[in-house]
Amino acid sequence: MADYGFDGMIKVSWVPAIANIAAPTLAELNAGVSLECRLTPDGLTTGAETAEVDSSKLCSTSNSAVVGRRTFTVGVKYVRGDDDEAVAVEEALVYGARGFKVVRRDLAATVDWAAGQKAEVYPAQVRQPNPDAPAANALQAVDVPMVVTSEPKGYGDPAVVVA
């Protein structure tokens, strides 16, 4: 039995429009900007936190809780450049831009989107991009935090790509 690795096995796109996030189409995904070859090795954020709702009662002798609202933390960190791909990423991820961060895991990033694939779809808006501080022996990178604007199809409940 093999363990999963990260290297080359994640595809990430910034997609301008998706009509149904539970079933993004190939046309919608292919209209997006491919990000994975511009992101730093640790440049993908798709975290989630779950709040607790106290369910204890006056007669309780111990504390209890049930799950509450989720808060998603999403963003990317990309390397700047002057080729067409790098310029497209920088022009797409500007302050206030709305779109969908789409993530596919466990399949080579070089494999094109195809019907039946599972993908996380995060409706998002770009917060203020922040360039890294200058440093010796480093590429220029920009951290792009995002806010999730509506219920996503995240890791535990992914979308399925349709033709």
pLDDT at 43 (0 to 100) = 96
pLDDT at 1 (0 to 100) = 75
Kindly state whether residue 107 falls inside one of the protein's structural domains: yes
Tell the residue number behind the tokens 């301008």, with chain if given.
16
CA 148, distance to chain mean position in Å, is 10
Task: Please write the tens of the pLDDT for every residue from 108-157.
Answer: 999 999 999 999 999 999 999 999 999 999 999 999 999 999 999 999 99
Q: What's the total number of domains in the chain?
A: 1
Task: Please write the tens of the pLDDT for every residue from 91-101.
Answer: 999 999 999 99
DSSP E strand stretches across the chain:
10-15, 33-34, 39-54, 65-79, 98-105, 118-126, 130-131, 141-148, 159-160
Question: Could you tell me the pLDDT band of residue 5, with boundaries at 50, 70 and 90?
Answer: confident
Kindly state whether residue 2 falls inside one of the protein's structural domains: no
Kindly state whether residue 76 falls inside one of the protein's structural domains: yes
Kindly state whether residue 160 falls inside one of the protein's structural domains: no
Kindly state whether residue 4 falls inside one of the protein's structural domains: no
Tokens of 73: 């933390």
Average pLDDT of 71-93? 97
pTM: 0.91
Task: Please write the tens of the pLDDT for every residue from 19-73.
Answer: 999 999 999 999 999 999 999 999 999 999 999 999 999 999 999 999 999 999 9
Could you tell me which of 46, 47, 18, 19 has the C-alpha nearest to residue 32? 18
**Which domain range does residue 16 map to?**
10-52+66-152
Query: What's the rounded Cα separation, in Å, for the pair 100 and 120?
Result: 10
Kindly state whether residue 141 falls inside one of the protein's structural domains: yes
Kindly state whether residue 61 falls inside one of the protein's structural domains: no
Kindly state whether residue 72 falls inside one of the protein's structural domains: yes
